[in-house]
Amino acid sequence: MGGQIKRFVYAVVVVHLIWTLCALALDRPLLPTPWAVYAYFPTITWTVLWQNLIASLFRLSVSLSCASLLGIISGIALVRFKRLGQLCDPLLYFLYPLPKIAFLPVLMLLFGLGDGSKIIMITLITVFQITIGVRDAVRQIPAELYQTLDVLAANRVDLFKAVTWPASLAGFLSALKIALGTALATLFFTEIYGTQVGLGYFIMDEWNRLDYRGMFVGIVVLSGLAYLLFSLIELAEGYFLRWQRA
C-alpha cells in the first residue's frame, strides 16, 4: 500500500509540474494553471458536478458490465467449443478493427438520444477487447493441465473452477484495464451529442462558453474518475489473482 501511495504522489507531482510549465510557457487563458483551476472549483455548484459525474458513471458502469459479461462468456466459448471458435474467429478479426464509433448516428436513430444509444456504443466497442483478452488467456492454458485433472476423474465443473476460470479472470482483468481507457474516450465522444448531462457534455459546454477554467474542472473530475476506476481494477487484480504470486 505504501508503494502505491508513493507512486500516486509521484505521478500527481510530475503531472502538475508539466501542467504548470506548459501553462506558464503558453501564458494564455486557454491553458490555465493548476492553482487557477482548483481555485475555480467553488464557483461551480456541487450539484452540477455531481449530476454530471453520476450520469457519466452510470453509463460507464452499465456499459462495462454488459461488455464484461458478454466478453467473458464469448471468450471462454471460443476456446472451449472449437467449432464455434473456427466459425467466429474470422468474424472477430474482421469486426474488431472497424471504427464502430461511426455507427453512433445509426444507434441514435434506432435507440434515441438518451442513455441507451450511448451504453450500446460503449459496450459495442469494449466487448471486443475483453473477448480477445479472455480468449487469448484461456487459449494459453496447457492441455496437460486438463489431462492431469481428467486422470483424477475431475468433471466439467471441476475443470472450469480449477483451470478455465482462473485463467479467464486473469485475461479479463488485464483486458478490462485497457477497455476502461477506450470506454472513457468513447463516453466523452458520445456525451457531446444528444444530451445535456454528463462530464463530456459539461467539458464541451464550458469550452463553448470560453470558460476554460470550468472546462479544466471537468477534465480534472473525469481524470479523477478514471484513476479511481483503474485503481479499483488493480486492487481486484491483486486480490483475485493472488495465486499468480504464490
CA distance 122 to 180: 10
- Residue 153 is given by DSSP the state T
* Residues 93, 183 within the same domain: yes
* Residues 90, 19 within the same domain: no
CA distance 79 to 70: 15
The angle formed by the CA atoms of residues 235, 241 and 242, to the nearest 5 degrees, is: 95
* Residues 119, 24 within the same domain: no
pLDDT digits (tens, 9 = 90+) for 97-124: 888 888 888 998 899 888 999 999 999 9
pLDDT digits (tens, 9 = 90+) for 176-208: 999 999 999 999 999 988 888 999 999 999 999
* Residues 27, 55 within the same domain: no
* Residues 124, 211 within the same domain: yes
The residue segments making up the domain with residue 221 are 43-244
* Residues 20, 104 within the same domain: no
